[in-house]
Amino acid sequence: MMLFLHLFQHLEWDASLNCLLYVEDIPLVYYISRMCNPVPFFLILSGYGLYAVYTKSGGVKPCKRVSNLYVHLLLIYLLIVPIASYVRPDMYPGSLSIFLKNVTSWQCSYIGEQWFFFPYIILMIASKWIFIIFDKFKWFSLIGILVIVWMGTVYILKHFNGDTLSSNMLFYNIFLAAFMLPSFTLGYMANRFLWVNKIKVLFTRCKKGTILLPIILLVALCLFRCFVPNASIAPYFAITFVLLFAQIPIGRNTGKVLTYLGKHSMNMWLIHTWFSTRLFHGFFFDQLKYPVLIYVTLLAISLAVSNLVELMYKPLSGFVSKIKC
């Protein structure tokens, strides 16, 4: 979803593609990209998973997780920034100050898609206290908090441009963490209130519709999102998608593929834009032309670099695993 969104969300790029399917002179891939909202999905799954860790062990050990993320980010930079410096020496690496701001994600001038990294670190560090506080509330109170925070942050983003908000990076990163909190909370609530199991019970009562019904609803949901571009519904679309997808039986081989992609998802997020947008945009859109070919090529390159990063990380994993907090 993430790669698809960043490839095909811009109509000015899509104009250069050789597309087979159109909707009123607009490439179908543009509409499909509207349902690819990676940030809410990532945050929902993170909230779900971190709360599972919290309930089992009483803590999340954020230092270890933060160290793991930063080591991966540094390794990606060590691989890609030299290439970027060769391809676009006018932009990369810039001054030492610019490099340090990017490698810490304090300010993301290298690739804008890295904006989520530092606010997510804030959320992860604060997750234990978020869970302690939110565990005191009933579900309807949490929904109220979620809606207020989400609508408030969306309103601010719509009425103030990024340059205004980012004039103070400390405020901006904390604000972005608040912007991400509602999606994170939905994942937490799905775990705490056992939404997946409760919905499964409802589908089980349908008997013949146990497998087919969630698939039909999922397809309908995706079609709805493709033609309703309002960004404010993104978290609600994502949680509904996740809950429906969780009802569909996944074959063993498909499960292996999804698990493999899942392990590389963070790396791919931090890698793919370098190639598709910042460094080799002309190659992808002017040379490959066809959406399927563009998508598969970017997926393959991102996975290849991610595997290389994991190979480099292996000698360092023992050090990271020893971090206690």
Q: What share of the chain is helix, strand, coil (3-state, %, to 5)?
A: 80, 0, 20
- Give domain status of residue 5, yes or no: no
* Domain contains 123: yes
pLDDT surpassing 80 at residue 210: no
Is it the case that residue 208 has pLDDT exceeding 70? no
Q: Is residue 277 part of a domain?
A: no
Residue span of the structural domain in which 119 resides:
39-186
Segment 80-129, tens digit of pLDDT: 999 999 999 988 998 999 999 999 999 888 988 888 999 999 999 999 99
Question: How far is the C-alpha of 303 from the C-alpha of 128, rounded, in Å?
Answer: 32
The H-or-E segment that residue 22 falls in is: strand 22-23
Q: Is residue 87 part of a domain?
A: yes
How is residue 161 written in tokens?
Answer: 């441009």
Token duo for residue 317: 């994993």
Closest to 145 (Cα-Cα) out of 256, 94, 136:
136
Domain total of the chain: 1
Per the confidence metrics, is the pTM higher than 0.75?
Answer: yes
The verdict on residue 232 lying in a domain is: no
d(CA 144, CA 149): 9
Is 75 inside any structural domain? yes
Residue 296 lies in a domain: no
Rounded distance between C-alpha atoms, residue 134 and residue 60, angstroms: 16
Identify which of 48, 52, 41 has the alpha carbon closest to the alpha carbon of residue 190: 48
Residue 14, pLDDT score = 62
Q: Is the pLDDT of residue 15 over 70?
A: no
Residue type, 13: W
pLDDT tens digits, 234-255: 899 999 999 999 999 888 999 9
- 96 located within any domain: yes
Distance of alpha carbon 79 from the chain centroid:
22
